[in-house]
């Protein structure tokens, strides 16, 4: 692997870590740094008493707002997972899998003005995770349904 390719892989990984740690650490500046304003994010989750999955989508602005309060009460464990699996990095695009506390995210990144930014996210909660939604009592229903 060339040195430049390794540097690009590290930059991609850092963008994904900024995204997940921005939520974990209630730090919206890391979301702003790592996510493109034209973000297309959607995912599937099971509600508290649901057996079927529901779909929800989220904009960049909603992602920034969510990161300001999602873990402010420290509901996630300090060792919450943040495994970044890089599938591919090309000159302008990259594809990554993130294993996080809330589930699995498949992430597409693009290089904008020399910086890697998350452009697309498709996610699904972990099987049997619907009880985690019940812990978030102070959120409006639309933000609960848009669990990262």
Can you tell me the distance from the alpha carbon of 110 to that of 124, in angstroms, rounded to the nearest whole number?
22
* Domain ranges within the chain, ordered by starting residue: 3-144
Residue 52 tokens read as 């079927």
Q: How do the pLDDT tens digits run along the chain, 148 residues long?
A: 555 689 999 999 999 999 999 999 999 999 999 999 999 999 998 877 777 889 999 999 999 999 999 999 988 999 999 999 999 999 999 999 999 999 999 999 999 999 999 999 999 998 766 555 444 434 434 554 444 3
Do 34 and 118 meet the contact criterion of CB atoms below 8 Å apart? yes
- Cβ neighbourhood burial of 131 (10 Å; 0-12, 13-18, 19+): exposed
CATH for 3-144 (3.40.50.170, 2.40.30.10, 3.10.450.50, 3.40.50.12780) = 3.10.450.50
Can you tell me the distance from the alpha carbon of 77 to that of 24, in angstroms, rounded to the nearest whole number?
9
pTM of the model: 0.85
């Amino acid at each position: 692997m060339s040195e430049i390719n390794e540097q690009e892989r590290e930059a991609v990984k850092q963008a994904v870590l900024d995204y997940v740690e921005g939520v974990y650490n209630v730090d919206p500046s890391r979301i702003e740094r790592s996510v493109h304003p034209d973000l297309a994010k959607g995912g599937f989750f099971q509600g508290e008493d649901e057996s079927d999955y529901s779909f929800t989508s989220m904009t960049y602005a909603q992602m920034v707002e969510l990161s300001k309060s999602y873990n402010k009460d420290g509901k996630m464990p300090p060792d919450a997972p943040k495994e970044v699996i890089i599938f591919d990095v090309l000159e302008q695009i990259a594809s990554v899998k993130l294993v996080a506390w809330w589930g699995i995210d498949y992430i597409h990144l693009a290089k904008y003005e020399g910086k890697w930014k998350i452009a697309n996210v498709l996610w699904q909660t972990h099987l049997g995770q619907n009880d985690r939604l019940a812990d978030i009592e102070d959120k409006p229903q639309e933000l609960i349904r848009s669990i990262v």
